[in-house]
Structure 1
Amino acid sequence: MASTDGRLALLGGTPAHTRRTPKYPTFTPEAFARVRAELEAGPTQGLSKGHPVIAEAEEALAAYHGVPLALCTSSGHGALQSALIGLEITGGDEVITSPYSWGASVSCILHNNAVPVFADVLPETGLLDPDALAAALTPRTTAILVPHLYGQPADMTRIVAFAQQHGLAVIEDGSQAHGARHRGVRVGAFGEASGFSTNGVKPLATTEGGYLLARDPDVYWKATISGQHAGRGELIGRASEPGFPDDLRPWIDSLVYTYRPNLVTAILALDRLPFLDEENAARARNARRLFDQLDGVASVTWPEVDAEDVCAFHMVTLNFQPEVAGVSRDAYLAALAAEGVGAVGYVANGLHRSPRLSPDWDGPRVMWTETLRRAGADPTRTELPNCDNKVANSIEIPWNIAVDDEPLIASLAAAFVKVEEQLDALRAWQPTSAAVA
Structure 2
Amino acid sequence: MSELALHGGPPAVTAPLPRAWPWLSEDARTRVDGLLAEGELSDYDYGPVLAEFERTVADYHGVPYALAASSGTDALLSAYLAVGVRPGDEVLVPSYSFHATVAPLFLLSAVPVLCDVDPVTGNIDPADAEARITARTRAVAVTHLWGHPVDMDAVLALAGRHGLKVVEDGSHAHGARYRGALVGTLGDAGVFSLGARKMVSGGMGGVLVTSDEHVHREPQRLGHTHERAAHSWPAEDVAVGLGGNHRISLVAAAICTAQYRDLDARIAVKRAVLEGLSARLEGVPGLRPQFTAPGVTRGGWYGYKARYVPGELGGLPLDDFVAALQAEGLPVDRPSNRPLHWSQLFTQRRLEPAYYQPGRERPLYRRGELPGAEAYYEASLSFPAPRLHEPCEDVLDQWRDGIVKVVKNAGRLRGLSANSH
For residues 35 and 106 of structure 1, do their structure 2 counterparts lie closer, same or farther at Cα, with a shift above 3 Å needed? same
Whether contact under 8 Å (2:288, 2:309) holds in the other structure is yes
- CA shift, 1:405, in A, is 2.7
- 1:339 matched to 2:328: yes
Higher mean displacement: 19-28 or 152-161: 19-28
Whether contact under 8 Å (2:106, 2:356) holds in the other structure is no
Q: Separation in 2 of the partners of 1:256 and 1:432?
A: 60
Q: Separation in 1 of the partners of 2:156 and 2:30?
A: 43
Q: Separation in 2 of the partners of 1:295 and 1:52?
A: 49
Percent sequence identity is: 32
Q: Separation in 1 of the partners of 2:355 and 2:323?
A: 37
* 1:272-421 equivalences in 2 (<5 Å): 272-312=259-299, 313-325=301-313, 326-358=315-347, 360-362=348-350, 366-367=353-354, 370-371=357-358, 374-381=359-366, 383-400=369-386, 401-421=388-408
Structure 2 counterpart of 1:33, one-letter code: T
Q: Which residue of 2 is the match for residue 263 of structure 1?
A: 250
Alignment gaps of 5+ in structure 1: none
Whether contact under 8 Å (1:347, 1:391) holds in the other structure is no
TM-score by length of 1: 0.90
Q: Secondary structure at the match of 2:13?
A: coil
Q: Which residue of 1 is the match for residue 43 of structure 2?
A: 46
Q: Separation in 2 of the partners of 1:399 and 1:348?
A: 15
Alignment RMSD (CA, Å)? 2.0
- CA shift, 1:303, in A, is 4.4
- 1:237 matched to 2:195: no
- 1:65 matched to 2:61: yes
Q: Secondary structure at the match of 1:380?
A: coil
- The runs of at least 4 consecutive aligned structure 1 residues that moved more than 4 Å come to 431-434
Structure 2 counterpart of 1:351, one-letter code: L
Q: Separation in 2 of the partners of 1:113 and 1:415?
A: 49
Q: Separation in 2 of the partners of 1:429 and 1:369?
A: 49
The one of 32, 35, 56 aligned to 2:32: 35
Q: Separation in 2 of the partners of 1:369 and 1:31?
A: 41
Q: Separation in 2 of the partners of 1:302 and 1:32?
A: 36
Q: Which residue of 2 is the match for residue 156 of structure 1?
A: 152
- CA shift, 1:281, in A, is 2.0
Q: Separation in 1 of the partners of 2:66 and 2:138?
A: 23
Q: Secondary structure at the match of 1:178?
A: coil
The one of 400, 412, 415 aligned to 1:425: 412
- CA shift, 1:370, in A, is 4.5
Higher mean displacement: 79-88 or 179-188: 79-88
For residues 164 and 20 of structure 1, do their structure 2 counterparts lie closer, same or farther at Cα, with a shift above 3 Å needed? farther
Q: Separation in 1 of the partners of 2:319 and 2:306?
A: 14
Whether contact under 8 Å (2:282, 2:288) holds in the other structure is no
- 1:86 matched to 2:82: yes
Structure 2 counterpart of 1:378, one-letter code: P
Whether contact under 8 Å (1:95, 1:145) holds in the other structure is yes
- 1:181 matched to 2:166: no
Structure 2 counterpart of 1:6, one-letter code: S
Matched positions, count: 416
- 1:10 matched to 2:6: yes
Higher mean displacement: 109-118 or 136-145: 109-118
The one of 109, 113, 119 aligned to 1:117: 113
- CA shift, 1:108, in A, is 1.7
Q: Secondary structure at the match of 1:195?
A: strand
- CA shift, 1:9, in A, is 1.8
